[in-house]
Amino acid sequence: MPDQQPPDATRLTHKRQVTRAVLVSTLIVGGCGSDSNSADGIEGGTTGASTASSGARTTEETTPSSGPTTGSATPADGSGTEATESTAAPETDDGRAPEECAPASPTTPPSGPVDDAIAAMPPDSWLALDNTWMRDVCPDPYNAYFCGSVIDAWSGAAYDHTRDRMLVYGGGHGDSYYNNIFAFDLAQMSWSRLTELPVGADGSSPTEAMRYVALEPCALYPKVPYEVPERWLNPNYTIYIDYEHCDEPEIVDILDYQQPRSSHTYNKNIYDAENDQFCYLGGSYYPGAQTSPPRVICYQFGCGEWRFVADRPDGSIGRGASAVDTNGDVWVVGSGNSGFVRYDVRADSWEAFGNTNGLNGTADIDTARNQLVQLDGSPDNIMRSFDLNAPSSVFTEIPVPANIPVLGPRPGFVYAPMHDRFVAWSGERRIYVWDPEDWTATVYNPDGDDPGETAQWGTYGRFRYSPHRNVFVLVNDVEENVFIYKPPAQL
What was the pLDDT predicted at 359? Answer: 77
Q: Sort residue 218 into left (φ over 0), alpha (ψ -120 to 50) or beta.
A: alpha
- The alpha carbon torsion through 44, 46, 48, 53 (nearest 10 deg) reads 70
| Cα separation, 361 vs 334, whole angstroms | 10
Residues of the chain with pLDDT under 70: 1-100, 315-317, 357-358
Tell me the H-state helices in 265-308.
none
3-state secondary structure of 356: coil
| Cα separation, 463 vs 159, whole angstroms | 9
3-state secondary structure of 232: helix
Neighbours of 482 (CB within 10 A): 27
∠ CA 7-281-349, rounded to 5°: 120
Task: Give kind and range of the element (H or E) at residue 150.
Answer: helix 144-152
| Cα separation, 423 vs 243, whole angstroms | 39
Q: Sort residue 189 into left (φ over 0), alpha (ψ -120 to 50) or beta.
A: left
Domains of the chain, first to last: 23-486 (2.120.10.80)
| Cα separation, 143 vs 383, whole angstroms | 37
What was the pLDDT predicted at 276? Answer: 96
Task: Give kind and range of the element (H or E) at residue 249.
Answer: helix 249-252
Burial class (CB within 10 angstroms; exposed 0-12, middle 13-18, buried 19+) of 106: exposed
Q: Determine what percent of the chain falls in helix, strand and coil, rounding each to the nearest 5.
A: 10, 30, 60
Q: Which of 180, 183, 182 is nearest to 260 (CA)?
A: 180
| Cα separation, 197 vs 208, whole angstroms | 13
Q: Is residue 338 within 8 Å of 315, Cβ to Cβ?
A: yes
- The 3-class secondary structure across 39-71, one letter per residue, is CCCEEEECCCCCCCCCCCCCCCCCCCCCCCCCC
Strand arrangement of the beta sheet that strand 371-376 belongs to: 362-366, 371-376, 382-387, 396-398
What was the pLDDT predicted at 315? Answer: 62
Long-range contacts of residues 322-326, Cβ cutoff 8 Å, at least 24 apart: 322/267, 322/268, 322/269, 322/270, 322/281, 322/363, 323/270, 323/363, 323/364, 323/365, 323/372, 324/270, 324/271, 324/272, 324/273, 324/365, 325/365, 325/367, 325/370, 325/388, 326/365, 326/367, 326/370
- How many helices (H) and strands (E) the chain has is answered by 3, 32
**Residue-wise DSSP of 75-137:** PTT---PPPEEEEEPP--TTS---TTSPPPPP-PPPP-HHHHHHHHSPSSEEEEETT--GGGG
The maximal CA–CA distance of the chain, rounded, in angstroms, is 65
Q: Sort residue 428 into left (φ over 0), alpha (ψ -120 to 50) or beta.
A: left
Amino acid at 119: A
Q: Sort residue 388 into left (φ over 0), alpha (ψ -120 to 50) or beta.
A: alpha
| Cα separation, 73 vs 58, whole angstroms | 28
Amino acid at 447: D
3-state secondary structure of 381: coil
